Structure 1
Amino acid sequence: MAWLFSNIQTLDEPKQDKLADKVEGHYFRDALSMPLNNPSLSPSQLQHAIFAHMPSWVSKLMRIRNRIVKLFGFEVGADNLTPSSDELAIGDKAGFLTVIEKTQDEIISYAEDKHMIFYISVLKQADQVIVSTLVNQKTLIGRLYVNSILPFHYIIARTVMNNALKAKRL
């Protein structure tokens, strides 16, 4: 499957982003990097360039996911991660996420419910962009959920990043 996403690298758990300080208890963490061709873009603009163009099949999967997980007490909101703007401020919504931190090099958004806290970081670093995910799992149901969606996460994260790269939005 790596040949499909040859421009995207899987990184070891990053220590240079602000998500490293948010790890608690049982957690899942991953990070992907890809080349950045337009270094003038802000982290917020990069987040928009990646997540504002979700394939329709991803949105359909998110709607199905929302119907299922609602039965288990998960919070459900928007079916996507689409930012409302390409320049977000703290407190703004990016789909079901809320922006909680923003610096010159990084933007962090999150969502929380009784089972887990989900974070996403978009970090601009020299000639690359690093997208990191952190999920702090509060309950056994949260841990089971994260483990069950990992194959989907693997494909979806790489697909949306690869699409942004191919469309030259980065």
Structure 2
Amino acid sequence: MKSKITETAVPAHSKIAEDLPGAYFYDCYQMPFDHTELSAMQIYMDTFARTPAWVNALMGVRNRVVGLFGLKNLGGMKALNKNKPAEAYQVGDRAGIFSLVYKSDEEVIFCDSDKHLDVKVSVSKQIRDGQPGIAVTTIVHVHNNLGRAYMLFVGPAHKVIAPAVLSRA
């Protein structure tokens, strides 16, 4: 049986909440998840390694299209080093399409930035109503009109993609 994924507010006590002011786009999805023995980094790696094939196909289309407009090719969501253990990752390391910018046992934050926008993604362990769970938060700050135009397409798609990826946790 699949866990119930719900859209929710960005967890106020999370580190990524500090990036919320001035955000052009943000969303947060949570689901019940017994994370007692896993670090947030391990949850990120396990989840993104199981990204649905259709999401990776969309990333391929995205990479081809945005290249025409000067945005960078991010590669695929599953592009993780399977030989590198979660505990070996340090701030600054690349993990899939993002670079690690914050790491604790309870939360990891990844970022990708260019001249058009900054994207941050957090995976955080949560306790809600006494039950363990995880939350995946995405925050985007745009820098120019191309970043805003990009988000016109990506924002609505993200509302489908984020829960689909989270469902693989």
Q: For 1:24 and 1:64, how far apart are their aligned partners in 2?
A: 31
Superposition pairs of residues 1-170 of structure 1, within 5 angstroms: 7-23=4-20, 25-80=22-77, 82-84=79-81, 85-87=84-86, 88-126=89-127, 127-164=132-169
What is the CA–CA distance in structure 1 between the aligned matches of 2:78 and 2:149, rounded to whole Å? Answer: 22
**Structure 1: 4+ residue segments shifted above 3 A:** 23-26
Q: Contact (CA 8 Å) 2:112, 2:119: kept in 1 or not? A: yes
SS of residue in 1 equivalent to 2:138: strand
Q: CA offset at residue 83 of structure 1?
A: 3.4
Q: Structure 2 CA distance, aligned partners of 1:86 and 1:29? A: 29
Deviation at 1:23, TM superposition (A): 3.7
Q: Please, what TM-score do these two structures have when normalized by structure 2?
A: 0.86
Identical-pair percentage = 34
- 1:140, 1:128 → 2: CA distance? 37
Deviation at 1:12, TM superposition (A): 1.8
1:117–1:135: 8 Å Cα contact kept in structure 2? yes
Tell me how far apart the structure 2 counterparts of residues 81 and 89 of structure 1 sit (CA, whole Å): 19
Contact 2:116 2:142 in 1 (8 A): yes
TM-score (norm. length: structure 1): 0.85
Structure 2: distance between partners of 1:65 and 1:17: 30
Taking the aligned partners of 1:108 and 1:94, their CA distance within structure 2 comes to 11
Given that residues 35 and 125 in structure 2 are in contact (C-alpha distance below 8 angstroms), is that contact kept between their aligned partners in structure 1?
Answer: no
List alignment gaps of at least 5 residues for structure 2.
none
When residues 105 and 49 of structure 1 are mapped into structure 2, their CA distance, relative to the original with a 3 A threshold, is same
Across the two proteins, how many residue pairs are aligned to each other?
160
User: Structure 1: which 5+ runs fail to align?
Assistant: 165-170
Q: What amino acid is the match of 2:111?
A: Y
